[in-house]
Amino acid sequence: MKLKIQYSKTQLEKCVRFIATHNKTFKGKHEYIRQSIRENMQRLAEQFPLCTYMGTMGYAIECFIEAEEGMEEDSNVLRFEFMVDPAVSIDDQEYADEEVVILAKE
């Protein structure tokens, strides 16, 4: 089984830079963060086709299956998107402004 992985290098680097700037525990640790993201991408790929989402350190990786091996495709293609938590490293007390909204279907 051939597995191709696609992701934006720009998005990855912006994610690394954000975490290295805003996560108090990992400030300035660009290579460590980049390696963590790559290892988690690998872990998600190994879970194919059950690869969906993984988050830690203030970032999240979402996995989308772009193509699956079959009659029309030679390989499986995964696309990764990176997201960051803008509230990373904020103390729990600062979440006191949390709002709960209940949605009801009619």
Domains of the chain, by residue range, sit at 3-97
Token couple for 44: 């998600």
pLDDT at position 11, please? 94
- Most confident listed range (21-30, 43-52, 70-79, 93-102): 21-30
**Sign (positive or negative) of CA dihedral 50, 55, 61, 62:** positive
Give pLDDT tens digits for 8-51. 999 999 999 999 999 999 999 999 999 999 999 999 988 888 88
pLDDT digits (tens, 9 = 90+) for 29-39: 999 999 999 99
